[in-house]
Every structure is written in C-alpha cells, then in structure tokens.
C-alpha cells in the first residue's frame, strides 16, 4: 500500500494466506456437541486454574476439542471441512468465556463480586457499605452461606446476565459492520489475522494430506502436528510440576505441595534497601517464556526497557518524596498499589492519552495515504479502478443487511440506557453520559481501532473516559454509578475475527447461528460451576494463591475510582494529580516523536508503556528472555519459518499444561464429592 510505512516486523505477518474462492457452511451438530463437551469437561478446570495460577486454558480447551473431534471423524471415515474446524474452534473458545482472565467478563464474574463486597479495600475505603443490591448482597449472613441460588443474589445475577447477553450482541453486530467498512470498502490488509487462521487451516489440511501417498516430511499438515506435539509434551512436563503437583496434593493431602512458587516469588523486601519503591520478583511460569517467543520482539524489548526505566525512576521518585507511601516492609502487592496512588495512577493516564493521540494520528495518516493512493490509481487506470474499489462482498459469504446492523445496535443501546436510567433514578447528568457513550464514543473509538487493526494490528484506547464522564456528570450519590450496565466498549479489535473467518472460507451465517446457541450455554455453565467452586471453599483462599494475591490489589485499585463519587475527600482525590498527568502525556508524546524521527518500530513504544509499572514486573523478565531466545536462536536457525512455528508451539504448550491441570482438578472434584460414612 503506497504511502503507508509499515514496520519490517509487521510485514513478516502479512499476506500469509489468501481468501478462498468459495465459502462453506461451518455450523453443524458436531460443533454443538463440541461446545457442550467443553462446557461440561473444561470450564470447571479452567476456572480452577485461573484461580490457582492466573492461567487460562482457553487455547488448550479449543485445541483438545478440535483434535478430539477430528480423530472421531477420521474413524468414521469423514473429514471436517476447514470452515467446520474454524467454527468448532471458535465455539470451544466462546464457551471458555466462562473462565476469562481475571474473571472480569461473563457471568462468572459474580465470583469476584462476592469477594469485593467483603474485601479489605472496599471496607476500608467506605465502598462496601454503599454497594447496591444489584451488584452483590452485603449481608454477612448471606455471604457466609456461599450460595448464589439464595434469592438475595438474584438481582446481581440478573444484571450480570443482562450485561453479558447485550455485550455479546453489540460485539458481534458492531464488529461485523466495522469489518465490512475496513475490509470490504477500505481494503485494509489486517496483518495479524493470518496468524490466528493458520493453526485452524493446518488441522483441516492434515486430514487431506494424510490421504495422499508419498507425502513429504515437511508438508504443511505434518510439520504443524509435529510442532504442536513438541509444545504439548513441554506443556505436560512443566504443568505436572507447576500446577499438577499442587492440584493433586490438594485432592489427597491436607496441604498442597508446591515446588515452584505460584504466582511468583517476591523479592521486594530483600531488595528494598538498594531499590526502594521497586517491586521485584520472578514468575517461574514457563508459559511466559513461550509467550515471549510468540509476541513481536520489539514489543517485548520495549517492555523490558520500560521495566528498567521503572527500576531507575522509582528510587529517584522515592528520594524526592513523590513515592512517599512506600515502606521497606511492603511486598509486591502493597508496593504496586502505593506507587499507583502516589504517582503512576496519574502518570499512566497521561501516557495513555499520548498513545490514544498517536493512534488517532496513525489512522488519520492511513486515511490520507489511502486517498492519495486511490487518486493516483484512478488517474492511472480510469473508471476501471473505481469499479474494482467498490466491488461488493462475495455473494455466498453470508453477509447481513447494513440496515439490520444499525437497527440492532440502536435497540441494544436503548436497552442499556433505559435499564441504567431506572437503576440510577434517571439522574440527568448520568443519562447524558449514557447517550454519549452509546451513540458517539463507542462507534467512533471502535472505528478508529478497526482501522488501526487493519493497518498495523494495534488497538487504541482512551484512558479514564468512563471515570471522567461520571465524575463530570455531577453524580455524588454514592458508588451505584460505577456498577451500571453502560453501552460502552471498543469493538474494533473483534474485526480481526471476521477477517480470520473470511480467510478460512467460513460462511458468516455459521457464526450467527453459533452466537444464538452459545449464549445460553455460557450463562448456565458459568453460574453452575461458579456455585460449585464457591461451595467447596471460600474464594479466594489458601487453595487459590493467585486469586489470594492479586484480587486484593485489583479491588484496591478499583476502589480508588469508586470513592470519587462519595461526596467527600477520597482516595481518588489523593491519586489524581494534574502535574503528573501532564508529565506522562509529555513523556508519551516525546517517545512517539523520537521513535518516528528515528524510524523505530511503533511496537517498541507500546512495549515501553507496558513496562512502566503497567504490568507485574515479575513476568516481563521471562517474556523478554523468551523473545531473545526466539529471535537470536530459533529465528536465526529457521528464518521466517519460525514465525509460523511459534504460535503452534504455544498452542501445544497451553494444551499440554491445561490437560494436566484439568486432570488434577478432576481429582479434587472427586475427592470433594466423596461422602464419608460414619460406620
């Protein structure tokens, strides 16, 4: 695309696949059975694994389901088409929404709600006493029962289900409409889409390749299976030590046996004498090492540079009294929270504003470049080029009428606005904010992100918009406003999914059917298994070291915002500092300007921002080590083919590790289900 400069690294990801000449129906009853299999067999294990170690098994569940059903089809002398494999893979992943990272999405987030209502942060900052009943009951007697089927929980569960269903409709409809604009009309390349589609097509190709005689050792299906198997063996071996041993020991012993610390080892107290206000430690999760091999190298390099800047900057800020809350007795969680309140809360907002501005600038530059290219092509070729430019989508792809897309989005947005208005007693300022989010902010931000995804695989986010909007609305009646179901989101990133479906030759009507059938399955599976886990023991607790360590930090950071509408001096007033915000914005703009002048990869900038106290420092080091190994060992030995190997290795690793953990979880469930007879 003339006029747009792409990073050399991103160029390696482009044009790996071509759109097929025809589109097949991917939905079948086989796919539905696969989704039910995941819901019954994988979801509880995935939820447990997330609570235990903060690790999702979505890829593992997806690959296991697809491989299992391919093997069953093979023994029935049938072959799953590429579209069927894609839909099966997608359905398995959608069901795993019952156990997302951080339990922040989907109906299963009610597990975090019950914890938040009892957390030290919410109680200490005066938030818990003002929680509305449609977020979580606050009666200690009800919470002590650990029973989501108590009528006191019905309003909270109903609201969570409403938010989930409406957000799925908005996500599917608006992202599809944006895909039509970015891909069909503007012809953006979507460089990251082929990566996700490669593994899917490999499974379908393997079936056809196996039927051919004289197959070469390096045929596509062959090498993908071999690389996937290597990753699976590595995952099973490491998983047996990291999560398998603690899980199995919990099932049969009074205490769990842990060889490698979960979620990380904490050195903050030991290093505080020479690195004050710096959180130090290391994650021993091998998955972080593998992830570093897969993600773009310059993003990992930037994260490491950002971490080093933090190591140098925090002691200086401590000496000058800016990070004044830190004490030598603080560990990682306390250090991160106090640093956030003292400085990084406002500084990070400023940096994020700079990133958002840079994202909008990239989009504007891309639009201008495309217009220049289109004008040049039209001048060179005449009306023929214009006819090609406006050619419609393939007739058998299964597209929807644009009027239906707009109508569904308006209908869902009005449902959000009316319900939130009822819950907030029709506060005028809040109602204006809801309309702004539904019909201006969400469509605009989603479009900008869709274009950025289509051009360079990036996402733009504008920080603190929700928080600023509610604070400026004039609402000071408590914390209810923060838990409203609001029509706000960034659905542009989802456009990559539709491009992947197109690359795999999947008819879009298959995906509409999947959404209609999956939503009830996800809702029921989430609530039932959340109730089952909570009934076994308190969550978080000693059995769940990740949740016990991280959830309190998450709750404390959220409470900083929630106190802004209490109508009194709050933690938000202490954390928000305009000078620090301006410093962050200036730093971010300067970084982008320098990177642009030096023609450095834009991924380096995003990585630096990520490393600046925006993520646990303990995972940055293993990810960077993995990036070094991938780039300077494997890529030098294998060339660009390593870019194809790495995602498959990671999928196999996640599959192997997830299988071991799920077996351990099954042992726990069996042990907990045993009824001891007293004679």
Q: Which is nearest to 556 in space by CA: 120, 210, 172? A: 120
What would the pLDDT profile of 208-241 be if each residue is shown by its tens digit?
A: 555 554 444 444 445 766 787 888 889 889 988 8
Q: Reduce the DSSP state of residue 240 to 3 states and report it.
A: helix
Q: Is residue 301 part of a domain?
A: yes
Residue 432 pLDDT > 90: yes
Sign (positive/negative) of CA torsion 240, 245, 251, 252? positive
Q: What is the mean pLDDT of residues 344-350?
A: 81
Q: What is the mean pLDDT of residues 607-611?
A: 71
Cβ distance 200 to 501 under 8 Å? no
The pLDDT, as a whole number, for residue 2 is 38
Confidence band for 652, pLDDT divided at 50, 70 and 90: confident
Which residue pairs, CB below 8 angstroms and at least 24 apart, start in 165-171? 165/519, 165/523, 166/412, 166/415, 166/416, 166/485, 167/489, 168/515, 168/519, 169/408, 169/412, 170/409, 170/412, 170/413, 170/487, 170/489, 170/491, 171/489, 171/491, 171/494
Residue 431 pLDDT > 90: yes
Cβ distance 504 to 201 under 8 Å? yes
Confidence band for 386, pLDDT divided at 50, 70 and 90: very low
Residue 569 pLDDT > 90: no
Boundaries of domain holding 551: 21-668
CA pair distance 238, 650, nearest whole angstrom: 13
Nearest-Å Rg of the Cα atoms of the chain is 25
Confidence band for 628, pLDDT divided at 50, 70 and 90: very high
The pLDDT, as a whole number, for residue 4 is 38
Q: Is residue 179 part of a domain?
A: yes
What would the pLDDT profile of 311-323 be if each residue is shown by its tens digit?
A: 898 999 999 988 8
Q: What is the mean pLDDT of residues 551-556?
A: 85
Compute, in degrees rounded to 10, the torsion defined by CA atoms 347, 353, 359, 360: -170
Q: Which is nearest to 349 in space by CA: 458, 440, 448, 461? A: 461
What single DSSP character describes residue 340? I
Confidence band for 417, pLDDT divided at 50, 70 and 90: very high
What single DSSP character describes residue 26? -
Residue 633 pLDDT > 50: yes
Q: How far are the Cα atoms of 546, 553, 559 from residue 337, in angstroms, in the given order?
A: 17, 7, 11
The pLDDT, as a whole number, for residue 153 is 93
Q: Is residue 5 part of a domain?
A: no
Cβ distance 577 to 346 under 8 Å? yes
CA pair distance 270, 283, nearest whole angstrom: 16
Residue 11 pLDDT > 50: no
What would the pLDDT profile of 348-369 be if each residue is shown by its tens digit?
A: 778 777 777 776 676 677 666 6
How much is the mean pLDDT over the chain? 78
Cβ distance 648 to 225 under 8 Å? no
Q: Is residue 630 part of a domain?
A: yes
Residue 206 pLDDT > 70: no
DSSP state letters, 507-571: -HHHHHHHHHHHHHHHHHHHHHHHHHHHHHS-SSSTT-HHHHHHHHHHHHHHHHHHGGGSSS--H
Q: Is residue 674 part of a domain?
A: no
Cβ distance 647 to 48 under 8 Å? no
The pLDDT, as a whole number, for residue 247 is 77
The pLDDT, as a whole number, for residue 410 is 93
What would the pLDDT profile of 464-495 be if each residue is shown by its tens digit?
A: 778 878 888 888 888 899 999 999 888 888 88
Angle at CA of residue 370, ends 369 and 376, nearest 5°: 90
What would the pLDDT profile of 499-522 be if each residue is shown by its tens digit?
A: 888 888 888 888 888 888 888 888
What would the pLDDT profile of 41-90 be if each residue is shown by its tens digit?
A: 767 777 777 787 676 655 656 666 777 777 777 777 777 778 888 888 78
Note the residue count of the chain: 679
CA pair distance 39, 546, nearest whole angstrom: 23
Q: Is residue 2 part of a domain?
A: no
Confidence band for 346, pLDDT divided at 50, 70 and 90: confident
- What domain count does the chain have? 1
Cβ distance 59 to 99 under 8 Å? no
Say how many C-beta atoms besides its own lie within 10 A of residue 260's C-beta.
Answer: 17
Q: Is residue 349 part of a domain?
A: yes
CA pair distance 447, 177, nearest whole angstrom: 10
When mean pLDDT is compared across 5-19, 341-355, 530-544, 592-606, the lowest value belongs to: 5-19
DSSP state letters, 57-79: -HHHHHHHHHHHHHHHHHHTT--
DSSP3 helix / strand / coil % (the chain, rounded to 5): 70, 0, 25
What would the pLDDT profile of 126-167 be if each residue is shown by its tens digit?
A: 888 889 999 999 888 988 889 999 999 999 999 988 988 898
Residue 453 pLDDT > 60: yes
Q: Model's pTM, two decimal places?
A: 0.72
Q: Is residue 138 part of a domain?
A: yes
When mean pLDDT is compared across 141-145, 194-198, 544-548, the lowest value belongs to: 194-198
Q: Does residue 6 have a cis bond before it (omega within 30 degrees)?
A: no
What percent of the chain is modeled with pLDDT above 90? 10
Angle at CA of residue 261, ends 260 and 266, nearest 5°: 135
What would the pLDDT profile of 236-287 be if each residue is shown by its tens digit?
A: 899 888 888 887 787 777 677 888 888 788 899 899 888 898 989 898 888 8
């Amino acid at each position: 695309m003339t006029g747009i400069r792409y990073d050399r690294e991103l160029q390696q990801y482009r044009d790996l696949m071509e759109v097929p000449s025809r589109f097949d129906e991917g939905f079948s009853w086989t796919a539905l059975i696969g989704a039910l299999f995941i819901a019954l067999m994988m979801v509880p294990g995935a939820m447990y694994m997330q609570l235990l170690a903060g690790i999702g098994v979505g890829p593992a569940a997806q690959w296991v389901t697809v491989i299992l059903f391919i093997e069953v089809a093979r023994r029935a002398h049938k072959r799953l088409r590429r579209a069927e494999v894609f839909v099966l893979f997608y359905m398995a992943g959608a069901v795993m929404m019952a156990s997302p990272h951080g339990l922040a999405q989907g109906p299963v987030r009610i597990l975090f709600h019950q914890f938040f209502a009892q957390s030290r942060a919410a109680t200490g900052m005066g938030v818990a006493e003002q929680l509305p009943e449609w977020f979580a009951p606050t009666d200690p007697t009800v919470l002590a029962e650990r029973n989501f089927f108590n009528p006191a929980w019905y309003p909270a569960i109903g609201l969570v289900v409403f938010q989930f269903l409406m957000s799925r409709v908005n996500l599917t409809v608006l992202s599809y409409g944006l895909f039509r604009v970015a891909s069909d009309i503007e012809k953006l390349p979507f460089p990251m889409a082929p990566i996700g589609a490669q593994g899917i097509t490999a499974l379908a190709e393997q079936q056809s390749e196996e039927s051919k005689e004289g197959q070469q050792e390096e045929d596509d299906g062959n090498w993908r299976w071999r690389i996937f198997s290597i990753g699976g063996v590595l995952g099973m071996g490491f998983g047996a030590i990291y999560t398998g041993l603690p899980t199995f020991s919990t099932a049969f012993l009074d205490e769990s046996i842990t060889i490698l610390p979960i979620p990380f080892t904490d050195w903050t107290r030991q290093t505080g004498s020479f690195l004050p206000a710096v959180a130090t430690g290391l994650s021993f999760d091998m998955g972080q090492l593998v992830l570093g091999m897969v993600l773009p190298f310059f993003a990992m390099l930037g994260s490491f540079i950002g971490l080093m800047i933090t190591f140098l900057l925090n002691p200086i800020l401590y000496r000058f009294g800016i990070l004044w809350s830190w004490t030598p007795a603080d560990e990682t969680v306390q250090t991160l929270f106090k640093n956030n309140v003292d400085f990084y809360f406002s500084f990070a907002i400023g940096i994020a504003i700079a990133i958002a501005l840079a994202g909008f600038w990239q989009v504007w530059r891309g639009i201008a470049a495309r217009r220049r290219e289109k004008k040049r092509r039209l001048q060179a070729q005449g009306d023929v080029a214009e006819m090609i430019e406006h050619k419609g989508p393939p007739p058998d792809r299964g597209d929807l009428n644009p009027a239906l897309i707009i109508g569904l989005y308006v209908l869902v947005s009005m449902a959000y606005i009316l319900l939130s208005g009822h819950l907030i007693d029709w506060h005028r300022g809040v109602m204006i904010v809801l309309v702004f989010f539904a019909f201006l902010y969400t469509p605009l931000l989603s479009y900008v992100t869709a274009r950025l995804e289509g051009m360079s695989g990036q996402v733009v986010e504008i920080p603190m918009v929700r928080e600023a909007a509610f604070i400026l609305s004039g609402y000071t009646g408590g914390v209810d406003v923060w838990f409203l179901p609001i029509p706000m989101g960034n659905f542009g990133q989802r456009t990559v999914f539709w491009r992947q479906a197109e690359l795999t030759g999947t008819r879009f009507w298959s995906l509409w059917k999947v959404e209609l059938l999956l939503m009830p399955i996800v809702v029921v599976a989430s609530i039932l298994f959340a109730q089952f886990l909570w009934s076994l023991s308190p969550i978080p607790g000693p059995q769940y070291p990740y949740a016990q360590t991280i959830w309190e930090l998450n709750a404390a950071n959220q409470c900083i915002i929630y106190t802004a509408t209490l109508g009194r001096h709050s933690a938000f007033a202490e954390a928000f500092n305009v000078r620090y915000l301006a410093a962050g914005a200036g730093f971010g703009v300067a970084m982008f300007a320098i990177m642009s002048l030096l023609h450095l990869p834009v991924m380096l900038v995003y990585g630096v921002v990520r490393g600046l106290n925006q993520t646990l420092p303990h995972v940055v080091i293993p990810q960077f080590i993995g990036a070094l190994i991938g780039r300077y060992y494997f890529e030098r030995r294998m060339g660009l083919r390593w870019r194809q190997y790495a995602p498959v290795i990671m999928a196999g690793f996640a599959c192997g590790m997830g299988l071991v953990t799920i077996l351990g979880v099954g042992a726990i469930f069996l042990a907990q289900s045993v009824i001891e007879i007293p004679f």
